[in-house]
Every structure is written in C-alpha cells, then in structure tokens.
Amino acid sequence: MSTTEAAAWRNPLRDKRDKRMARIPGPCAVVIFGVTGDLARKKLMPAIYDLANRGLLPPSFALVGFARRDWADEDFSQVVYDAVKQHARTPFRQEVWDRLAEGFRFVQGAFDDDEAFSRLAATLHTLDAERGTSGNHAFYLSIPPKAFPQVLQQLSRTGLAARTDGSWSRVVIEKPFGHDLASAEELNALVNSVFPESSVFRIDHYLGKETVQNILALRFANEMFEPIWNAHYVDHVQITMAEDIGLGGRGGYYDGVGAARDVIQNHLIQLLALTAMEEPVSFSPAELQAEKIKVLAASRLAEPLDETTSRGQYAAGWQGGEKVVGLLDEEGFSQTSLTETFAAITVDVDTRRWAGVPFYLRTGKRLGRRVTEIALVFKRAPHLPFDATMTEELGKNALVIRVQPDEGITLRFGSKVPGNAMEVRDVSMDFSYGSAFAEESPEAYERLILDVLLGEPSLFPVNDEVELSWKILDPALQYWAKNGKPDTYESGTWGPESAFEMLHRTGREWRRP
Ligand code: BG6
C-alpha cells in the first residue's frame, strides 16, 4: 500500500475519490502455489480471467504457476485455458485471453527445492523488467497448511517476501487457518515472522459474496432495521449453511477436519460477527475489524454442550431422486472415520445488545438442499387480541438474509387471510437481487483477488479474528473429541435428531429453508 493510500485508509473521510469508480491495480504478478489443485482450476484461474475480461487487471499483469509437474509455459497456459473455458463466469473473448496469456509463466519445482525458488525469483525479476510488473508480487498459498513453513521460508530466503524499494509483496492464505486455537497462534506467528500483518490476506471467500457485504448495507444504510436489531425484539438468530453435495473424493482434505472446522470456524462465525457487531465508526478496514474483534471477544459457546451442540455424519439416503452412499462408503474415507459432516452450535453474545439471544449456527453436507441464510427470528407480539384459532398459523416474524442461492432478503410476517374472519397467516415480502439489479454479482474470488492486488484489506480476517473464532469453537471440538462417534443422519434430510432436540429443548425450531 502506498503512503497516500495508507493515509486514506486511516482517515477515509479525507479520501475524496468517487468510490463507485472501479479501481484498477497497478502493475503486478500473481504467483499461485498449488496450481494443480481444484481451487486453482475452479475458482482462481477463472476469476483472474473474469477480472481481465472486465478490464480490472493492469496491462502489465503476469500469472506464474509453481508446481512439481514437468510443464512448459505452454502447458500451463493450456491448463489455465481449459479452466477458464469450463468455469469462467463471463464470456470468452479471444483478444482478452491473448493479452492475458502473454503474461503466463510456469516454474517447476518442489517446496523444498532451493533452486526452484531461485528460478522463481529469477522469473519474477525478468517479468518485472520485461513485462513491467514492477516488483509487485502476490503469493497465493493454495496448498495444504503443512507446506506453509517451507514455502514461507523459501520466500524469505530468496528475498521475495521483504521489500524496501516501494514495491509490494503480499501473501494470500487459504483456510484452514490452523486446527484449533494453539495451532492457529503458531501459524499466525510463523506467517507474521515472514510477512507483516498488513501484507497478509487470509481468504474467507464468504466475505467476498455480495449478499454478505450487503449485511452491512442493510443494517447501517437504513433506519428501519437497526432499532429492532437487538434483544428487545429478536428472539434468536439462525445461521445456516447447508449443502446437498457429499464428500466423495475430498477425503484427503476433509477427513479429520469436519464440518465445524471447515465451515463454522470461518464462514459462519464471520456471518455471526457481521450480524451481531456494532456500527463501525467508518468503513475503513481498521474500524471494521475493531468492531468484529469486539463482538467475537464477547461471544462464547452456550452450555451445557451436550444440549447446545450437535454433530452428525451422513448415512445413505436419497438426494435429488438418486440413491447416495453414506460418508463411510465414500471414496477416501475409512470405515471408522469419526469426521462429522454436520455440526451445530449455540453461541451467546455477551453484549448489551444481544444478552439472552441465542445464535444457532449449523452446517452440513448432504442436507435437504443447498442454502445459506441468516434468519433473525423475532419475539411474538406481547399480546394477540384475536381468538386463538385465528392465529394458529401465525409463526414468529423473521427477517431472512438469503446469502445463496436466490440471493436476497425476505421478511416474514402475519397477514389477514381474505374472508369474513380475522384469520392471520404468515406471508413473505421479498427482495431479490436477480430482479432488483441488472448487474450480475461478481464471484467472491474476483472481488477478493482484486482487493489483494489493490491492497484493500477490509474483506480479509486479521489474525485476532481467526484466533477469537477458534477460541469460541475449541470447547465444542474438545467435547466432541472426547465423545467418540458423531450421530448419524440420512442423506437428504436436515441433520441428526440431536440437532432438532437442541432447539426443541428451548421451545424453538430450525427453519426449513
Ligand atoms: C468451502 C468449504 O470453504 O466452502 C467447502 O471448504 C464448501 O466444504 C464450500 O463446500 C462452499 O462454498 P460455497 O461458496 O459454494 O457456499
């Protein structure tokens, strides 16, 4: 970040730029470690092409792949081409592709190969001189965490991590950010020993989603929601991230990690932070982070854990009209795997605004359907001046932020059923992104990669947020580790019985999205 940019972030009110105008990063190169992986192919390479296609990459841009494969630059280019053709969001344009592909390079090597990293440094220096990437480099670590120390040490050894000449060097880290609080602290210390925190960009791709950013617009750009966004009116909050897919073939990453570490520690706790935090003084990254950190520090698991948490593993069942196998019969999982594919927790947020309002977080694979939503479920009206039979079908009011799919917001409230009686039934009022806006939402990775290149850190969790999230989750992980086997649930349903009991106990129910 330049000094002027840094000053503007510190005091955004002084930055008079029209923030609606797209910003294009200066000359730079992105190096992807883990270029043969799924994430690179399905998300990173297509996002880079989509950014180029939208005119958001600088003319002096280069993409360098680093992997063990014996590839020439042309082979790498072909791999990116195939990924773009298959997964890019925007139409293929030959002239955009040709310009972009001129900046592709491949460096062959393993992470413990000093010479390979020296070749990487030489390749980058040549690109800086010939393509004009000016010494600005982003290193994307799309690799297993056990490889982090080696790569970080190599970047430090070759001088690629440190800068004194006004150019920048940034590191982008994919989750998992550790396995628990202790390992996250260790990882953060390691990363920060090589890169200063301001050069570290931890990816939580949920923060790149439009609907997630809209939580702040909804809350803080309007007058009508914030007055009721508190314990006086809200009975509880449900944050759901449900997927219908199974885990066949993902055993290598997922086995031993499980749903809570994979999704709750990062995506769902970030959604909780945005939903529960106080209004930031401004939208500068530092002010936003300060509020998120405050609310995370005030959050803890509700107890007793045998009543307030649930975890499960999917068994065989039916999904989308097809018979599917259970986790233990999926490729890459052992018959004795204790990994949970469903997890639910209850979080108490000990602040004046939220005291007494449980936040229920749940996620799972092979559930009824793919849906992510945040639902604020309101208290009942203090008095209903109707005959009881007339309000039999009246539920609790709810404000539902539909993160995906069918992105938008729904308000559920009671309305009179047409007819002679005063019968009241639930209805919905809907806002849908698809019909309200002509523009299509960019992919989360487009936004996040662009922000890395611009040095804009708002959408990236800092080390304190990561550590506080583990601190919230750790007691559940330890409790489950002591408890042996997770419960089971049939594929295509909404999770194990224990998840339903968790809410029934308090007279509440999960929403059926
Ligand atoms: C990833 C998890 O972070 O998010 C995956 O590791 C999950 O297990 C994915 O499938 C879901 O992302 P999205 O954007 O499709 O909701």
Q: Is the CB of 407 under 6 A from ligand 1?
A: no
Instruction: Give the pLDDT score at 108.
Output: 96
| Annotated binding residue 209 | yes
Atom of ligand 1 nearest to the CA of 372: 16
Yes or no: say if 346 and 308 are a contact pair by the CB < 8 Å rule.
Answer: yes
What DSSP element (H or E) covers 122? helix 114-130
User: What CA–CA distance (Å, rounded) separates 355 from 129?
Assistant: 58
Distance set, CA 152 to CA 143, 171, 322 (Å): 12, 9, 45
Which of 137, 236, 267, 383 is the catalytic position? 267
Instruction: Give the pLDDT score at 324.
Output: 96
Instruction: Give the pLDDT score at 352.
Output: 97
Burial of 405 (0-12, 13-18, 19+ CB in 10 A): exposed
Residue 54 Ramachandran class (φ > 0 left, ψ -120 to 50 alpha, else beta):
alpha
Instruction: Give the pLDDT score at 249.
Output: 80
- In the reported structure, the alpha carbon of residue 366 is separated from the centroid of ligand 1 by a whole-number distance in angstroms of 13
- In the reported structure, the alpha carbon of residue 326 is separated from the centroid of ligand 1 by a whole-number distance in angstroms of 19
pLDDT in tens, the chain (513 residues): 455 555 555 555 555 667 777 889 999 999 999 999 999 999 999 999 999 999 999 999 999 999 999 999 999 999 999 999 999 999 999 999 999 999 999 999 999 999 999 999 999 999 999 999 999 999 999 998 889 999 999 999 999 998 878 899 999 999 888 999 999 999 999 999 999 999 999 999 999 999 999 999 999 999 999 999 999 999 999 999 999 999 988 878 898 899 999 999 999 999 999 999 999 999 899 999 999 999 999 999 999 999 999 999 999 999 988 999 999 999 989 999 999 999 999 999 999 999 999 999 999 999 999 999 999 999 999 998 888 888 888 999 999 999 989 899 999 999 999 998 889 999 999 999 989 888 888 999 999 999 999 999 999 999 999 999 999 999 999 999 998 899 999 999 999 999 999 999 999 999 987
Which long-range contacts (C-beta less than 8 Å, at least 24 apart) are formed by 291-298? 292/461, 292/465, 293/462, 293/464, 293/465, 293/468, 295/349, 295/351, 296/269, 296/465, 296/468, 296/469, 296/472, 297/468, 298/349, 298/350, 298/351
Atom of ligand 1 nearest to the CA of 204: 3
Instruction: Give the pLDDT score at 11.
Output: 53
Q: Using omega within 30 degrees of 0 as the cis cutoff, is the peptide bond preceding 46 cis?
A: no
Residues in the chain: 513
Query: What are φ and ψ of residue 429, in 5° steps?
Result: -115, 130
Distance set, CA 280 to CA 190, 208, 283, 287, 354 (Å): 30, 19, 7, 6, 17
- Does residue 125 have an active-site annotation? no
Angle at 155 between CA 152 and CA 159, to 5 degrees: 140
Yes or no: say if 52 and 161 are a contact pair by the CB < 8 Å rule.
Answer: no
Reference 427, options 419, 438, 415, 444; nearest CA is: 415
Whether the predicted model's global pTM rises above the 0.85 cut:
yes
Yes or no: say if 356 and 504 are a contact pair by the CB < 8 Å rule.
Answer: no
Instruction: Give the pLDDT score at 31.
Output: 98
| Annotated binding residue 85 | no
What is the architecture, at CATH level 2, of domain 207-504? 2-Layer Sandwich (3.30)
Atom of ligand 1 nearest to the CA of 266: 3
Q: Is the CB of 243 under 6 A from ligand 1?
A: yes
DSSP per-residue codes, 210-235: HHHHHHHHHHHS-SSSGGGSSTTTEE
Instruction: Give the pLDDT score at 16.
Output: 65
Q: Which residue type does 73 have?
A: D
What DSSP element (H or E) covers 138? strand 137-141
Query: What are φ and ψ of residue 85, in 5° steps?
Result: -60, -35
Q: Is the CB of 262 under 6 A from ligand 1?
A: yes
Query: What are φ and ψ of residue 237, in 5° steps?
Result: -125, 135
Ligand 1 probe mutation, 263, 370, 402, most atoms within 8 A of CB: 263
Q: Please, where in the chain does CATH 3.30.360.10 lie?
A: 207-504
User: What CA–CA distance (Å, rounded) separates 158 from 96?
Assistant: 33
Atom of ligand 1 nearest to the CA of 262: 6
When the candidates are 3.40.50.300, 3.30.70.260, 3.40.30.10, 3.40.50.720, the CATH number that belongs to 3-174 is 3.40.50.720
Instruction: Give the pLDDT score at 441.
Output: 86
Instruction: Give the pLDDT score at 175.
Output: 87
Number of Cβ atoms within 10 Å of the Cβ of 367: 26
User: What CA–CA distance (Å, rounded) separates 305 from 497?
Assistant: 15
Instruction: Give the pLDDT score at 15.
Output: 58
User: What CA–CA distance (Å, rounded) separates 234 from 211?
Assistant: 21
Looking at 282-356, which runs of residues are DSSP E strands?
A: 299-301, 310-319, 322-324, 342-349
Yes or no: say if 323 and 304 are a contact pair by the CB < 8 Å rule.
Answer: no
Yes or no: say if 390 and 400 are a contact pair by the CB < 8 Å rule.
Answer: no
Instruction: Give the pLDDT score at 122.
Output: 97
- In the reported structure, the alpha carbon of residue 263 is separated from the centroid of ligand 1 by a whole-number distance in angstroms of 7
| Annotated binding residue 54 | no
Ligand 1 probe mutation, 142, 177, 243, 271, most atoms within 8 A of CB: 243
Yes or no: say if 282 and 304 are a contact pair by the CB < 8 Å rule.
Answer: no
| Annotated binding residue 379 | no
Q: Is the CB of 128 under 6 A from ligand 1?
A: no
Reference 502, options 367, 332, 353, 312; nearest CA is: 312
- In the reported structure, the alpha carbon of residue 267 is separated from the centroid of ligand 1 by a whole-number distance in angstroms of 9
The token pair that represents 284 in the structure block: 């500068």
- In the reported structure, the alpha carbon of residue 271 is separated from the centroid of ligand 1 by a whole-number distance in angstroms of 14
For atom 8 of ligand 1, the residue with the nearest CA is 262
User: What CA–CA distance (Å, rounded) separates 475 from 305?
Assistant: 9
Atom of ligand 1 nearest to the CA of 243: 10
For atom 9 of ligand 1, the residue with the nearest CA is 263
What DSSP element (H or E) covers 65? strand 61-67
User: What CA–CA distance (Å, rounded) separates 174 from 15?
Assistant: 31
What DSSP element (H or E) covers 412? strand 408-416
Reference 249, options 341, 329, 142; nearest CA is: 329
Q: Please, where in the chain does CATH 3.40.50.720 lie?
A: 3-174
Ligand 1 probe mutation, 43, 175, 267, 370, most atoms within 8 A of CB: 267
**Strand, helix or coil at 242?**
strand
Query: What are φ and ψ of residue 34, in 5° steps?
Result: 90, 35
